[in-house]
Amino acid sequence: MILHLAGNGTVAAERSRDAAAGCLYFRRPSRAFKGQHSWRLKIPRGGARSPVSGVIEMQTEDWTPCIVTIFDIVGTKTLATKGLASHQMIRMREVAVQLINTGLPLHSHGYVWNDSVLLLSHNANPPDLRLKVLSELSDFKRQLEQECSIRTYAIAVKGLAFPHDIIGAPPIFQGQVADQPRAVVLKTSSWAMANCFLIEQALGRHRADWYIDNRVSRQTGIGAPFASEKVALLPKNDLREIHMYKGSLPTTK
């Protein structure tokens, strides 16, 4: 069965069979709506009890290469027990917003919440440009820590940003135009963003200051890490090498 999602939201269906593999395929055609993504879901024949296998064939021509970086404060739980965490988070928000709005020319968007900062750069190639992005991230981290009297760790991952096609009228709330949308779609939305959290979960025990995806640091001439490990990352659970650094990021060739 092939399900086609039409532009008006209706669903048309036709049946297809892979005679060799004995499988049914469910897919959304690439021209179903603006965004041009194609997904195919492969289900072995044999009834409802058969497990779903192998999602996915993705066409990602309009997904833009990006570098997603997240910064977190070290020791937030300890600061909270001392009654200091709220002050630190509010101060970090003020400084981070100022730095994002007045600097970071190689980054297009930034988001701040609680003890975290999320940055998006579309300057993912070539290596010399990625080195400049890393240098900019290093400067941002240093300034943030100095002005807020905190320690942070950073995770940087390369990937493809999901398309952002949502265009709407000015947001209205309770009859008045709002100063910002009630719903905010993060432009960092990507497998790279998801992989930041997987890397933290897998390697956080190292207590590094930096966790850099090899695809970000490769061929940039950045200094040697104190440790490297491979982590299975989304969407295909491919093993990707993550380099870990302590202290300042050695971005000078």
pLDDT digits (tens, 9 = 90+) for 16-57: 444 444 444 334 444 333 444 444 444 444 444 434 444 445
Among the residue ranges 71-75, 84-88, 223-227, the one predicted with the least confidence is 84-88
- The pLDDT assigned to 82 comes to 86
Residue 111 scores a pLDDT above 70: yes
- The pLDDT assigned to 181 comes to 75
- Pair 209, 153: CB distance under 8 Å: yes
* Cα–Cα dist 253/241, whole Å: 21
- The pLDDT assigned to 130 comes to 98
- The pLDDT assigned to 169 comes to 54
Residue 85 scores a pLDDT above 50: yes
Among the residue ranges 14-28, 83-97, 100-114, 153-167, the one predicted with the least confidence is 14-28
Domain residue extents for the chain = 2-44, 64-245
CATH number of this structure's domain 64-245: 3.30.70.1230
- Pair 103, 146: CB distance under 8 Å: no
Residue 123 scores a pLDDT above 90: yes
Among the residue ranges 62-76, 136-150, 165-179, the one predicted with the least confidence is 165-179
- The pLDDT assigned to 43 comes to 41
**What 3-state DSSP class applies to 27?**
strand
